């Protein structure tokens, strides 16, 4: 039997390597931003954490800090989106402006940035959603294949979400 040569995904390697840098979580988040922009595509990219006790989401990274600054917080209303993404840990794909309007109160701002579709990819640990990677792009950009492609990137975010804030 002959051995095949293993081929590593260069974007996954770059994100994993960024975890060893001292400037955390900034180095990891910047590497995720670059990798996901190339591997899947996005115009707007944010990372949110979720706090069960308060029912709030906090933005810990944004590639567009003007309209979506780091540190922004919002209360999450129970509904189909929170049940799917937060409770069951399922990715959410919104393909059109109507999908965004049905889920996000800030849909007008999102659309003003040239974004009409979204992929919300939960980051899970021990059966709980700790956060999500949120990729937004033009209409009909994301599909089911993007969920599988995004999963390893999302899970590589875990150390940053589990580490205590410094």
Which tens digit of pLDDT belongs to each residue from 61-97? 999 999 999 998 988 888 889 999 999 999 999 999 9
Average pLDDT, the chain: 94
What are the two backbone dihedrals, phi and then psi, of residue 23, each rounded to the nearest 5 degrees? -80, 70
Domains and CATH numbers, the chain: 11-162 (3.30.450.40)
Contact 95, 139 (CB under 8 A): yes
How do residues 6-53 score in pLDDT, each as one tens digit?
888 999 999 999 999 999 999 999 999 999 999 999 999 999 999 888
Q: What is the pLDDT of residue 165?
A: 62
Please tell me the pTM assigned to this model.
0.93
In the block, tokens 């770059």 appear at 14
């Amino acid at each position: 039997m002959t051995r095949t040569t293993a081929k590593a995904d260069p974007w996954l390697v770059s994100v994993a390597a960024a975890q060893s840098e001292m400037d955390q979580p900034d180095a990891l988040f910047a590497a995720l931003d670059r990798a996901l922009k190339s591997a899947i595509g996005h115009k707007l990219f944010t990372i949110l954490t979720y706090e069960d006790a308060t029912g709030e989401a906090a933005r810990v990274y944004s590639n567009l800090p003007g309209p979506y600054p780091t540190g922004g917080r919002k209360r999450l209303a129970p509904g189909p989106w929170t049940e799917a993404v937060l409770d069951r840990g399922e990715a959410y794909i919104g393909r059109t402006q109507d999908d965004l309007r049905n889920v996000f109160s800030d849909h007008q701002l999102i659309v003003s940035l040239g974004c009409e579709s979204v992929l919300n990819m939960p980051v899970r640990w021990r059966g709980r959603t700790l956060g999500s990677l949120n990729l937004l792009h033009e209409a009909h950009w994301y599909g089911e294949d993007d969920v599988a492609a995004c999963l390893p990137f999302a899970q590589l975010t875990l150390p940053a979400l589990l580490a205590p804030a410094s």
